[in-house]
Amino acid sequence: MTDDLTYTRTPSGDNEIAAQFSLLRDDQKEVLQLVEPKASFAQLRSKVPQLAEAVLRRMLEELVSMGYIEPLTADVDMKACFAQPVSQPTIQLKQQAERQTLSGMPALKEAGYYVNILSRPANRILPRSGDTYHVFIIDADEINTLVSVRMLLLNGFNTQVAVNRDEIVAGLNRKPRPDVIAMDVVLPDIIGLDLLGRLREHPRFKSVPIIVMTAKANHDDVVAALSYGASCYMTKPFKPEALLDSINAVLGIG
């Protein structure tokens, strides 16, 4: 985050302010109320001088991850986004991903998918639109996509689908913003891990749960996906119910 980053409250944030009871701490709710109708980090810092800078940054990240606020940023410029090499995961991230992979591989082999336990939120993430969750599916596998979309629609999720770079950019810029991104790493004109890394570097998508769906299930593939920031790793083919379970897990539902 930078001092010129500006935030706006989502419909879920408005509902939280109006609610009689809240799961937020008093300091979190105070900051949420100050984002009206928008506020930059510098403005918020001047209004709550009692909060240390690091504490305020962490609180804003928490409010973003819970779906109560979102950063106001320019449209995603994929050309500029890929003009520079993606930041490589640190040694610490790689070591953490290695530990997660070793602990999760038995479950991956048995169930066909693995949810990164560190991505499970303490509280349910509310829809950014205020009513319905939106899932953005990035996958060139038409059959897998059709089955997944049908299952999600039947369970009350809104969906949008992208196959190539242009469709991905359009989907990322469309409102409402996705609450979950489910993506394959094998795409026709984008390197999947590069896209995953770019999304994790973008303030708008940094905290959005990202589920990786792929036929690649080797140890090194899982480590790479987790070290670049995947919230969940699923191998293809999988039962549609497994995707629903994974989405519910990364959203803190159930």
Do 21 and 86 fall into the same domain?
Answer: no
Cβ of 147: how many Cβ atoms within 10 Å?
16
Residue 89 has pLDDT above 60, yes or no: yes
User: What pLDDT, on a 0 to 100 scale, did the predictor assign at position 1?
Assistant: 43
Do 57 and 176 fall into the same domain?
Answer: no
* Average pLDDT rounded to a whole number, residues 158-180: 90
Do 85 and 42 fall into the same domain?
Answer: no
* Average pLDDT rounded to a whole number, residues 194-210: 89
Q: What pTM value is reported for the model?
A: 0.79
In this structure, the dihedral spanned by the alpha carbons of residues 165, 168, 172 and 174, taken in order and rounded to 10 degrees, is: 110
Residue 30 has pLDDT above 90, yes or no: yes
* Dist CA 61 CA 126 (whole Å): 14
Domain that holds residue 175: 78-251
Tokens (6 digits) for 49: 């001088």
Domain end position, chosen among 72, 98, 124: 72
User: What pLDDT, on a 0 to 100 scale, did the predictor assign at position 108?
Assistant: 83
* Dist CA 172 CA 176 (whole Å): 9
* Average pLDDT rounded to a whole number, residues 15-27: 87
Residue 4 has pLDDT above 80, yes or no: no
Tokens (6 digits) for 232: 């969940």
Do 120 and 209 fall into the same domain?
Answer: yes
Do 48 and 90 fall into the same domain?
Answer: no
Q: What is the mean pLDDT of the chain?
A: 86
* Average pLDDT rounded to a whole number, residues 163-177: 87
Do 64 and 129 fall into the same domain?
Answer: no
Do 84 and 193 fall into the same domain?
Answer: yes
Do 217 and 148 fall into the same domain?
Answer: yes
Strands (E), 58-199: 69-72, 113-115, 134-138, 158-162, 180-183
Residue 119 has pLDDT above 70, yes or no: no
Poorest-pLDDT segment among 14-18, 187-191, 209-213 = 187-191
* Dist CA 120 CA 22 (whole Å): 20
List the CATH number of the domain containing 132. 3.40.50.2300
Do 50 and 160 fall into the same domain?
Answer: no
Domain end position, chosen among 72, 88, 117: 72
* Dist CA 232 CA 151 (whole Å): 18
Tell which wins on pLDDT, 75 or 189: 189
State pLDDT tens for residues 36-53: 888 999 999 999 999 999
State pLDDT tens for residues 68-86: 898 887 676 666 666 677 8
User: What pLDDT, on a 0 to 100 scale, did the predictor assign at position 117?
Assistant: 54
- Decide: 115 and 101 in contact? Cβ < 8 Å: no
Do 177 and 202 fall into the same domain?
Answer: yes
Q: How many domains does one find in the chain?
A: 2
User: What pLDDT, on a 0 to 100 scale, did the predictor assign at position 236?
Assistant: 83
DSSP designation for 126: P
Q: Is residue 1 part of a domain?
A: no
Residue 226 has pLDDT above 50, yes or no: yes
